[in-house]
Amino acid sequence: MLDRREFLAASAFAGGVWVLGQPGECRAEPVPSASQKWPRNYFLQGNFAPVSEEVTETELKVIGQVPKELHGVFVRNGPNPQFPPLRHYHWFEGDGMLHAVLLRDGKASYRNRWIRTEGWKEERQAGKALYPSFLDPLDGTNPPRFKNTANTSVLWHHGRLLALWEGGPPTEVRLPDLETVGLYTFGGKLKHPFTAHPKVDPVTGEVLCFGYNLVAKPYLQYSVIAPWGQIISTTAIDLPRPVMMHDFAVTANYTVFLDLPEVFSLERALRGQPVLKFEPDAGARIGILPRKADGTTIRWFTIPPCYVFHTLNAWEEGDEVVVVACRTKQFPQSVEFAPPSDGSAHPNPQDSEAVLYQWRCHLKTGKVVEGPLDDRGTEFPRVNERLLGRRTRFGYCGRSGSEMFDGLVKYDLVKQTHLVHGHGAGRFGGEGVFVPRPDAKAEDDGWLMTYVFDRNTGKSELVVVDCRDFAAPPVARILLPVRVPYGFHGIWVDLS
Ligand SMILES: [Fe+2]
């Protein structure tokens, strides 16, 4: 076993090749939580349950063939609570853990690491959970402290990897070893929380991002980050009430905001009711702002109430801005911010199913034409991000299954057809991240990657699906040394 200094030196750059560790190395940190009592809670059971080990493993077994032209790291974020909760627990609030698979020359290696946020370190020091859940009742005396878990997604920009959580600033993490550097505030220029869904413009290299504040005005701020990584502008956008805004969209010229009525109310929480609640009477709007304009010039388009966690893409067609997203008629009950009455959570996936949906906002007439593009339940939409903000023909989603996604769907938005890649009986996957083939000429020339959990074996794998032969078995099933709990969003960092 190498000591820590030798290990970091070896893993950072070995003979000109990034690797995720040394052959045979498997580091497992002592995790005091392993022997503690965990409460009954849907999001702490099955493959939602956290893992207690940090592992590095080279030379993973592969069923099939890892495409030899791929050289990069697939990194996915997700909640992995370090300690049993004080009282309640929601899936959205577990400590962030990154799971990374590095591919090169047809070979694969793996590493998982907790993101060592300030809250994670405090709790590790104490040997127990210290932070409350946002499901816990407020006592009206002390304002609650919430932990920036950095657990939701990752951004790779200007050679920097950032783990994101929409309630606060990003946390910088080093590649390839996944060591936490610390909070990243863009040199102190970041003045608002940072969405977990920033958009990197594939043409300009800019990052567009926003942050919402549930307590103090401005309730929404929007920033543009230059290709060289500096925040070049921030503007406030006036909202009548604080709402949970998880995602947005961009086109080549516009930024699109979703003001949807998942409304925050401290007064409601002090009455013992949920702090966030779907209030359809508050109305819903799509806001369209020229990319670098002042927030006061935003134009709002009224739409029927709904909720959207994730957009697929947006683009311009003539005088219209087209937005495609996974839409639910109300806030999904499966992730509702209310403590279950019996101390556990029993989400009903049928109540929560989002469907792929389109809004066409006419910039001259102010009219909106909207409607579903499919009737099956899908979520975690992604596109080939080389075309983000431009008209995309293909979209990729997870297909809603009994406990997570039981397959992937490839939508052809031009032909209005779709293909399904099923994960197989008892197998459930996450978001499919599109990885373009180097030198690809066609939009769908690439692969979707997702972690799949096999309930039959209790094991996880990274599945690589050829998007041009979508219904076929995966070209590679990369078998992982530890279970990968269900999580949120991932990216492919190209190192070629
Ligand atoms: Fe998300």
pLDDT tens digit at each of 496 positions of the chain: 333 333 333 333 232 334 455 544 555 455 655 567 899 898 999 999 999 999 999 999 999 999 999 999 999 999 999 999 998 999 999 999 999 999 999 999 999 999 999 999 999 999 999 999 988 877 766 667 889 999 999 999 999 999 999 999 999 999 999 999 999 999 999 999 999 999 999 999 999 999 999 989 999 999 999 999 999 999 999 999 999 999 999 999 999 999 999 999 988 888 888 889 999 999 999 999 999 999 999 999 999 999 999 999 999 999 999 999 999 998 887 777 776 554 445 455 555 689 999 999 999 999 999 999 999 999 999 999 999 999 999 999 999 998 899 999 999 999 999 999 999 999 999 999 999 999 999 999 999 999 999 999 999 999 999 999 999 999 999 999 999 999 999 999 999 8
Which residues, in sequence order, are CB contacts of 341 under 8 Å at separation 6+?
A: none
**CA–CA distance from 59 to each of 67, 108, 113, 291 (Å)?**
15, 6, 18, 45
Q: Distance (Å, rounded) from C-alpha 59 to C-alpha 56?
A: 10
Q: Give the residue from 381, 387, 380, 382 showing the smallest Cα distance to 440.
A: 387
Q: How far is the CA of 238 from the centre of ligand 1 (A)?
A: 23
- What is residue 339's predicted lDDT score, i.e. its pLDDT? 64
CA distance 96 to 114: 6
How many whole angstroms from 75 Cα to the centroid of ligand 1? 15
Distance 484 CA to ligand 1 centre (A): 18
Burial letters 256-293, b for 16+ CB under 10 A, else e: bbbbbbbbbbeeebeeeebbbbbbbebbbbbbbbebee
Q: Using the mean position of ligand 1's atoms as its centre, give its distance from the Cα of residue 273 in Å.
A: 25
**Ligand 1 center to residue 197 CA distance, Å?**
7
What CA–CA distance (Å, rounded) separates 335 from 398? 17
List 225's β-bridge partners, or say none: 207, 231
What's the gap in Å between 488 CA and the centre of ligand 1?
6
Span from the CA of 428 to the centroid of ligand 1 (angstroms): 18
CA of 265 from ligand 1 middle (Å) equals 22
Looking up tokens 């070995």, which residue turns up?
14
Task: Give ∠ CA 149-131-181 in degrees, rounded to 5.
Answer: 35
Cα(221) to centroid of ligand 1, in Å? Answer: 18
What local confidence, expressed as pLDDT, does residue 32 receive? 58
Distance 310 CA to ligand 1 centre (A): 6
Cα(16) to ligand 1 centroid in Å equals 35
How far, in Å, is the centroid of ligand 1 from the Cα of 490?
10
CA of 182 to the centre of ligand 1 (A): 22
- Nearest Cα residue to 113 out of 62, 49, 181: 181
Give the distance (Å) from ligand 1 centre to CA of residue 381: 10
Using the mean position of ligand 1's atoms as its centre, give its distance from the Cα of residue 489 in Å. 6
- How far, in Å, is the centroid of ligand 1 from the Cα of 92? 10
What is the CA(178)–ligand 1 centre distance, in A?
A: 21
| H/E segment holding residue 122 | helix 118-126
What pLDDT, on the 0 to 100 scale, is given for residue 298?
A: 98
The alpha carbon of 32 and the centre of ligand 1 are apart by a number of angstroms equal to 30
CA of 301 to the centre of ligand 1 (A): 23
Residue 342: the pLDDT is: 46
Question: Cα(194) to centroid of ligand 1, in Å?
Answer: 12
Residue 189: per-residue pLDDT: 98
Q: Ligand 1 mean position to 487 CA, how many Å? A: 10
Maximum C-alpha span of the chain:
68
Q: Where are the beta strands (DSSP E) in 45-167?
A: 56-57, 62-64, 72-79, 96-104, 107-114, 153-157, 160-164
| Ligand 1 midpoint to CA 166 (Å) | 9
Measured in angstroms, how far is the CA atom of residue 22 from the centroid of ligand 1? Answer: 33
Of 416, 476, 482, the C-alpha closest to 450 is: 476
CA–centroid distance, 122 to ligand 1, in Å, is: 26
> How far does residue 274's CA lie from ligand 1's centre (Å)?
21
Question: Measured in angstroms, how far is the CA atom of residue 132 from the centroid of ligand 1?
Answer: 22
Work out the number of other CB atoms within 10 angstroms of the CB of residue 172: 18
Q: What is the Å distance from ligand 1's center to 408 Cα?
A: 17
Please report the DSSP string for 429-442 in residue order: E---EEEEPTT--S
Ligand 1 midpoint to CA 311 (Å)? 9
Three-class SS state of 256: strand
